[in-house]
Amino acid sequence: MVDGFVGQIFNSIQGEGLYVGRRQVFVRFAGCALDCNYCDSESFREFRPPKCEVETRPGSMKVKLVKNPMSHELVLRHIGRLATPDIHSVSLTGGEPLGAGEFLVEIAKGCQRSGLATYLESNGASLETMKKVVDYLDIAAMDIKLPEHRAVPVESWPRLLEEELSCIELSLKKGVRTFVKIVVLPTTHEKTILAICRRLAELGDVPLVLQPVFPARKVKRSPTMAQMYRLSRAAARAGVKEIAIIPQVHKLIGVL
């Protein structure tokens, strides 16, 4: 039995990326070492929160508090209780799920044993954990950070990018359905998208979602659609074949 810290467990719809609108059970792992300037889930950056919010009924948005740390078996029981016949998969999100190490692996493995598809939402900052969990994943939504996100100090960003690209490459090689998301700020430049998308194109046919930032924390406005169109064209020029512009839909309709 492996214990770990969780911030939330609930049933809702996927609000981001290529699977937007699909119903999922979400397991929001606690803790994130990055410090993105647009972070809209700061309360889940804490690595050892004393309590986890667990939804009482699927889709009710009413929660009870459960003591942390939780065993992976208890988390799996909550997933089973909140799973409805229409769920597409179990979203393993955060915080940053790769930071949970073996706790994440055991939960993904348990979902697979139960016949539930697993959907990893990650910044790809730990290739070490990705190697352990990748065999238990069905879908990987990988979030590449840009220098202007200020997720890490500027001098550390190239190392973070290489770790993210390595996780994406591994996921593709293992046959996991993989796509990349990039959050676009008003300050995001074409040259940045061109450089990153050239690297993505070298890995193979990786679908790309450009997500206009929803104002939060230090970011006060969203990019214009004219900017989004320019960046989409830049990604295509760099060799990315499948590109979508998708905002955070769950915020537009007011669900968890």
Q: Is the pTM of this model over 0.85?
A: yes
CATH number for 230: 3.20.20.70
Q: Looking at the 3D structure of the chain, how many domains does it have?
A: 1
Expressed as residue numbers, the domain containing 150 is 3-253
Please identify which residue in the block is written with the tokens 């990786």.
206
- Other beta carbons within 10 angstroms of residue 157's beta carbon come to 17
Mean pLDDT of the chain: 96
pLDDT greater than 90 at residue 64: yes
What pLDDT is attached to residue 252? 82
What pLDDT is attached to residue 223? 97
CB-based burial label for 190 (10 Å; 0-12, 13-18, 19+) = middle
Higher pLDDT pick, 40 / 152: 152
Q: Are 70 and 215 in contact (CB under 8 A)?
A: no
Residue 184 pLDDT grade (very low, low, confident, very high; cuts 50, 70, 90): very high
The DSSP secondary structure of 80-137, one letter per residue, reads: HHH--TT--EEEEESS-GGGGTHHHHHHHHHHHHTT--EEEEE----HHHHHHHGGG-
